[in-house]
Amino acid sequence: MNSGKNFIGSTLGKKIMVAISGLLFCFFLLFHFANNLIIFTGADNFNFLVSSLEKIKPLVRLLEVLLVIILITHIINTVLLTLKSKRSGSAPKNTAGSKHSTFSSRTMFFSGSILFIFIVTHLSTFWYNFQITENHSSYYKIVTDSQLGFGNIFITLLYLMAMIFLGFHIKHGFSSALITLGLSSTILGRLINKIAFLFWLVIPSGFFMIAFWFGILKGGL
């Protein structure tokens, strides 16, 4: 019991929790992205998909609670690790001060903060309004042309910017997580690295395209 507490409190324990929570969130993004692609097929299909999820509401709620736990675990441990490395004056390995630091690695905390603002905005607009609306044929409209969605140029610009940061954040996050979990030089690690572009390139670009298509090309109409 005590050794479990010590582990969670240790730097390695925190890094492992950041790595696992980040990877779990990536799987949610894959699922979320696949669901959202339906939006390109038109209002009827999108409204039908969202209404169908109503039928499995208890499961959706359970997954949402798990997601909140995953996100909080990720954020709290990242903040604690950053504070610790600032206090000790040392940059975390493979990040800021490292010889091999990259743009993605140096901006992890910054990109994470932008993503936090994005998620809060995203949930207080799309998610919240999906919960309170009684009109099942309004979901598509809320996303594509309301002032809470891509009918609002400021929301669209926030999405476009956030998706670029999401790509950088996941790119570094993935390789960092593999190092933390001791997988980077294993066959499994190399295999995961090969498919990681799906998470840091394809998914953020796809989300970017949704915002660009409805917010810029279709002008929110």
Give the residues lining the site for ligand HEM (CB under 6 A).
Answer: 29, 32, 36, 50, 53, 64, 67, 115, 119, 122-123, 126-127, 130, 143, 159, 166, 207, 210-211
Counting Cα atoms < 13 Å in the Cβ hemisphere of 31 gives: 10
Smallest distance, ligand HEM to C-beta of residue 184, A: 24
* Three-state secondary-structure class, residue 115: helix
Smallest distance, ligand HEM to C-beta of residue 19, A: 17
Smallest distance, ligand HEM to C-beta of residue 90, A: 29
Q: Residues 6 or more apart from 85 whose CB is under 8 A from it? A: 91, 92
Give dist(CA 109, CA 39) in Å, integer: 31
CB nearer to ligand HEM: pick between 109 and 126: 126
CB nearer to ligand HEM: pick between 23 and 143: 143
Cα 129 to Cα 21, 49, 53, 113, 122: the distances in Å are: 27, 16, 15, 24, 10
CB nearer to ligand HEM: pick between 134 and 187: 134
CB nearer to ligand HEM: pick between 28 and 102: 28
Asked if residue 177 lies in contact with residue 17, where contact means CB atoms within 8 angstroms, the answer is: no
